[in-house]
A = this chain, B = another copy of it.
């Protein structure tokens, strides 16, 4: 390894470029994925971009979708914050089965680095804000990056296998609370 590389485990600082304004205040009652919450004005969120970074929005209004990268500061709710997240967890969508998965095979929020990745539908891009459909994060969630959705880069050909997601039904608007009580074992929530 090059000597200039960060050593594994070294901390890497992130800059918060903005904040999400959403009607959701508790993870348990927030839709688990952006794609499950596109319908209706009530489902819209606003990204407020901090002043120093607003110029970076130039050109984003020509896109239909974008990737919202967030810092999930309250993964799994207040009680979910303490300590290192378990490497195997029962995803929200497998609560009824109480089946565990490795966290890199889930989309849940309790991760080694709690980075959220949401495909948001762009509704309105102003010089300071981004209004979007598909809110799956709570109010106040810090934003660390925005990238345009580019079909050529982001859509795999055909219908690829999607592991355990292929075995379950997923309803629009699913929230952790709608998917059953949290795990009773040492492995807490996620999707």
> What separation, in Å, do the CA atoms of A115 and B71 have in the docked complex?
12
> What separation, in Å, do the CA atoms of A88 and B53 have in the docked complex?
10
Beyond A56-B104, A63-B160, whether A73 also contacts B140 by CB under 8 A is: no
Contact check, B147 vs A8: say whether CB atoms are below 8 A apart: no
Query: CB distance A148 to B163 under 8 Å?
Result: yes
- Interface residues as binary, A12-55 with B (CB distance below 8 Å gives 1, 0 otherwise): 11111111000000000000011110000000000000100101
Is the beta-carbon distance between B149 and A9 smaller than 8 angstroms? no
- Contact partner, A144, options B16, B50, B113, Cβ 8 Å: B113
Chain B's nearest CB lies how many Å from the CB of A98? Answer: 15
> Residues of B contacting A177 with CB < 8 Å?
none
Q: Tell me if A160 and B156 are in contact (CB < 8 A).
A: no
Residue among A36, A100, A148 with max Cβ neighbours from chain B (10 Å): A148
Cα-based distance from A150 to B151 in the complex (angstroms): 15
Residue in contact with A153 in the complex, picked from B35, B63, B151, B159, CB distance below 8 Å: B35
Once bound together, how far apart are the Cα atoms of A167 and B156, in whole Å? Answer: 21
Query: In the bound complex, do residue A148 and residue B106 qualify as a contact, i.e. CB atoms below 8 Å apart?
Result: yes
Instruction: Select A12's contact among B55, B100, B102, B144, beta carbons within 8 Å.
Output: B144
Residue in chain B with minimal CB distance to A100:
B58
* Cα A73 to Cα B7 with chains together (Å): 11
Q: Report which A residues bind B (CB closer than 8 A).
A: 1-2, 4-19, 33-36, 50, 53, 55-67, 69, 71, 73-74, 87-88, 100-107, 111-113, 115, 117, 119, 121, 140, 142, 144-156, 159-166, 170
**Nearest 10 pairs between A and B by C-beta?**
A64-B160, A62-B163, A58-B102, A59-B105, A11-B13, A12-B14, A55-B87, A104-B146, A59-B101, A56-B87
Pull 10 A–B residue pairs with CB atoms less than 8 Å apart, ordered by A: A1-B140, A10-B16, A12-B142, A15-B113, A64-B161, A64-B162, A104-B147, A106-B147, A119-B156, A152-B165
